């Protein structure tokens, strides 16, 4: 549930009207903001974990398809592993290792090309 939906539920229940009776720096206001910040952090962590799991599942499925197509084309297992490792390095990009990953992937691809 996103923030807009949560806010509409709180408004429908009349909780926002009561919350607005207290100032931000009052004891009740501080408790409210602390509670919502903790809930938001928890929901954010859950969403990040769900997105990470979804991405991993998608990439594993795609890798399995690529491996199956390489096997169907008659590539050796060594060549398949080199090609898959190069693909793994290039599919997810990190700012701090991007150039090194590209160079390593290029070397792996050239090794795979040298294999018969």
Q: Which residues contact 7 (CB under 8 A, 6 or more apart)?
A: 16
Sign of CA dihedral 74, 110, 82, 97: negative
The verdict on residue 34 lying in a domain is: yes
The verdict on residue 11 lying in a domain is: no
This prediction has a pTM of 0.73
Dist. CA 80–CA 71, nearest whole Å: 8
**pLDDT tens, position by position, 41-98:** 999 999 999 999 999 999 999 999 999 999 999 999 999 999 999 999 999 999 999 9
The verdict on residue 104 lying in a domain is: yes
Q: Which domain holds residue 35?
A: 27-114
**pLDDT tens, position by position, 3-55:** 899 889 999 999 888 888 988 899 999 999 999 999 999 999 999 999 999 99
3-class SS of residue 25: coil
When divided into structural domains, the chain yields a total of 1
């Amino acid at each position: 549930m996103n923030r807009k939906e949560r806010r509409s539920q709180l408004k429908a229940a009349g909780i926002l009207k009561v919350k607005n009776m207290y100032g931000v720096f009052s004891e009740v206001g501080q408790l409210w903001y602390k509670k919502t910040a903790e809930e938001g952090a928890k929901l954010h962590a859950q969403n990040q974990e769900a997105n990470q799991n979804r991405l991993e599942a998608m990439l594993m499925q795609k890798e399995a398809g690529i491996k199956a197509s390489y096997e169907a084309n008659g590539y050796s297992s060594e060549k398949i592993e080199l090609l898959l490792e190069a693909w793994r390095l290039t599919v997810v990009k990190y700012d701090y290792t991007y150039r090194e990953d590209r160079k390593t992937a290029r070397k792996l691809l050239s090794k795979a090309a040298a294999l018969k």
